[in-house]
């Protein structure tokens, strides 16, 4: 089943979810490693190039994911949850969409602060659209770091909530995102 139903996530939603989760986790780890590189490190040029390229691809996937979410139904919450849990879950899901876009924008501003475009695996270029502003790279870099740690924190919260649903509540919330319909 490709599309979502009232009860389950289709394979398109599940695939986009796990693709972004995997890429975001990898980008976070790569970003942590990258900031420790020195000019003379063999990966000083390579890893930032990969980070930017994967980040642009994640941006395209996130746009696809947002469009998919806007134009397909979202399964109803699993029965038995408390109203406050549904409200918190909705807020966290909104944040899990907003923070990646904030990361993408701040990363774009860091990468194009000098007026150069971003090469995506040497396949195509994403142009610098804004004029260079003094200090833009530093400000965008600080925002990028804060948002990255914030996103990581919300991802952990999201994962813990899914595990709570599975092991404590013993409901289908996690299974719906892993395998969809029974």
**Per-domain residue ranges for the chain?**
11-178
Lowest-pLDDT range of 118-122, 128-132, 140-144 = 128-132
Q: In the structure, what pLDDT confidence band is assigned to residue 80 with cuts at 50, 70 and 90?
A: confident
Mean pLDDT, range 38-58, rounded to an integer: 97
Q: Which CATH number fits domain 11-178: 1.10.760, 4.10.1110, 1.20.1540, 1.20.950?
A: 1.20.950
Mean pLDDT of 52-74: 97
Give the separation between CA 53 and CA 48, rounded to whole angstroms. 8
Cα within 13 Å of Cα(7), Cβ side: 6
Model confidence at 182, pLDDT cuts 50, 70, 90, reads low
């Amino acid at each position: 089943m490709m599309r979502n139903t009232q009860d389950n996530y289709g394979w398109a939603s599940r695939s986009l979810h796990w693709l972004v989760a995997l890429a975001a986790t990898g980008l976070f780890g790569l970003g942590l490693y990258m900031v420790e590189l020195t000019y003379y490190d063999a990966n000083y040029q390579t890893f930032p190039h990969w980070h930017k390229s994967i980040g642009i691809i994640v941006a395209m996937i996130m746009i696809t994911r947002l469009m998919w979410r806007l134009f397909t139904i979202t399964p109803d919450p699993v029965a038995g949850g408390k109203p406050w849990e549904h409200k918190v879950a909705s807020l966290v899901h909104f944040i899990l969409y907003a923070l990646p876009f904030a990361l993408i924008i701040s990363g774009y501003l860091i990468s194009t602060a000098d007026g150069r475009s971003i090469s995506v695996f040497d396949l195509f270029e994403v142009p610098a659209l804004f004029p260079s502003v003094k200090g833009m790279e530093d400000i965008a870099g600080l925002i990028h770091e804060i948002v990255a740690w914030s996103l990581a924190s919300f991802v952990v919260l999201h994962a813990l909530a899914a595990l709570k649903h599975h092991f404590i509540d013993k409901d289908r919330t996690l299974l719906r995102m892993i395998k969809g319909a029974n």
